[in-house]
Amino acid sequence: MIGLDWGTTSLRAYRLDPTGAVMGKRESKSGILSVKPGGFADELRKIAGDWLEDSEKLVVISGMAGSKQGWAEAPYLPCPATVTDIARATLPVPFPATRVRLVPGLKARDADGVPEVMRGEETQILGILDRLPEQEVTLCLPGSHSKWVRVRAGQILGFWTQMTGEVFAALSAHTILARSLHRGAAHHPGAFARGLDRARQGGGLLHQLFGLRSLSLFDAMPQMEAASYLSGLLIGHEVAAALEAGVAPPVHIIGAAALTLRYSAALAAFGVPSVVEEEDAAAQGLFRIGVAIEGTRFSLQ
């Protein structure tokens, strides 16, 4: 089978053998924002045409390709949800001689009843779900919109989001803080730790953000360290809120290494153990959904 992780600004394609092993992996910048309406089938042929000709008959696609702005809209499926639920809810799209299916996003409600959505992360979660212990586990998927997820015995129970990554990007580029930091600076673990410490002091986030500016005015915040400090400050607030809401340690962190290591350090600073999962959980998640589709195909239309 073929699995596609098709996001807003990137596209990853995997060719998977019947055991789930990745036989081929390709990446392109053809995220859904760069695909013209009606152009999704052509884009699929472009990245995986030879695999399709070479007898692959099932394509599972996760991510924003299944959103309103994508190939077609696979509506959000409510939590709790299992891999079977998600496989059943995949949306078929027309394609010659091949079954092509879009993975739905998930929806939930936070503790105060406010709606929550994810699209793409559910597939990463499924990639590690059957290797987790049976009891409740908390997953963290850091990013522009970090997801904190409760799972138990093969079920995605619920989740909530923190806009940490996107807030970092907006503040570091579009406020007075831009003058205090060098955005291309390498990660500075000491400054990151200072930011984490600061997050546990008083005054709230909106106050502590200004402190970065005033520290820099008084030459107490080197430009090459300020971005890491800001990152620590925001991730510190995120982790503090997550712990207040309740987690089941160790927290399993899924994502790119640069981020998972920061979150692991942040959780450790709060005394919470974590496990960093493999980076490429999406391929395994797409495989699990493919297997579930095969397993349920006779009960599907």
Does 206 bind a copy of itself (CB under 8 A)? Our answer is yes
Least distance (Å) between residue 130 CB and a copy of itself: 28
Which residue stretches of the chain are H helix?
40-53, 83-88, 121-129, 164-174, 189-199, 205-217, 223-245, 257-269, 281-296
Quick count: other Cβ atoms within 10 Å of Cβ 22? Answer: 14
Map the footprint of a copy of itself across residues 153-182, applying CB under 8 A.
160-164, 166-167, 169-171, 173-176
Residue 116: its H or E element? strand 115-118
**Shortest CB 202 distance to a copy of itself, Å:** 6
Q: Does the footprint of a copy of itself cover residue 201 (CB under 8 A)?
A: yes
Using CB under 8 A as the binding rule, whether residue 272 contacts a copy of itself is answered as no
Q: Which of 280, 252, 69, 295 is nearest to 156 (CA)?
A: 252
Buried b (16+ CB within 10 A) or exposed e, 116-144: bebbbbbbbbbbbbeebeeeebbbbbbbe
Considering only CA atoms, give the Rg of the chain: 21
* Span near a copy of itself by CB under 8 A; candidates 17-25, 94-102, 210-218, 253-261: 210-218
Instruction: Give the count of residues interacting with a copy of itself (CB under 8 A).
Output: 47
Residue with smaller CB distance to a copy of itself, 153 or 245: 245
Residue 53 touches a copy of itself, criterion: CB under 8 A: no
Smallest gap from residue 101 Cβ to a copy of itself (A): 23
Q: Which is nearer to a copy of itself, 217 or 300 (CB)?
A: 217
- Residues in 68-127 that interact with a copy of itself by CB under 8 A: 110-112, 114-117
Which residue matches tokens 């959103």? 67
241 binds a copy of itself (CB under 8 A): yes
Residue 185 or 240 with smaller CB distance to a copy of itself: 240
Report DSSP letters for 252-281, one per residue.
EE-S-HHHHHHHHHHHHHTT--EEEPPS-H
Residues that bind a copy of itself (CB under 8 A): 110-112, 114-117, 145, 160-164, 166-167, 169-171, 173-176, 198, 201-211, 213-215, 217-218, 220, 234, 237-238, 240-241, 244-245
